[in-house]
Amino acid sequence: MLNSIKKYFKKAKEEATREYSLETISDESYEIDKTKPWTGVDLDGTLAYYERSASSDMIGEPVPAMMAFVKKMIKHGTRVKIFTARVQDPEQLPIIRNWLKENGLPEIEITNVKDYYMHRIYDDRCIQVEENTGRLITD
């Protein structure tokens, strides 16, 4: 157990000091094929830093590792959607779209609904369950 904790902190320290290329992706180079499977990426706490005390009109600074990962997925043709509870409030959509643009992402889809095209979700609050067994998948 102690070795697992040490490994985790070592990995976290390496990640914190890593540099990421955060290039901008233009809307012209990003086409949405609505028949392709999609990958959801949570916004608050996953793609952007989140503080519970912050106003709902504010979205935190980008998390460099996830921004680089999302841009890489988009660049390689993955259909990406922002998967966030914020969308239940229609006034949040322009705030999210503006944040995406300011941070070099194209106008990707934004939703809070899973459908049959959903392939996977990256989220700070989820725990993966092995398909058809109910077993929790943990490190």
**pLDDT beyond 80 at 7:** no
Question: What domains, with CATH codes, occur in the chain?
Answer: 35-139 (3.40.50.1000)
Residue 56 has a pLDDT of 81
Query: In sequence order, what are the residues at sequence separation of 6 or more whose Cβ sits closer than 8 angstroms to the Cβ of residue 41?
Result: 47, 66, 70, 80, 81, 82, 83, 121, 122, 123
Q: What is the mean pLDDT of residues 72-100?
A: 94
Task: Give the pLDDT band of residue 138 (cuts 50, 70, 90).
Answer: confident
- Residue in 67, 63, 57 with CA at minimum distance from that of residue 104: 67
Cα–Cα distances (Å) from 60 to 43, 56, 138, in that order, read 9, 10, 28
Task: Give the pLDDT band of residue 53 (cuts 50, 70, 90).
Answer: confident
**pLDDT beyond 50 at 21:** no
Residues 101 and 107: beta-carbon distance below 8 Å: yes
Higher pLDDT, 61 or 5: 61
Rounded to whole angstroms, how far apart are CA atoms 7 and 15?
A: 12
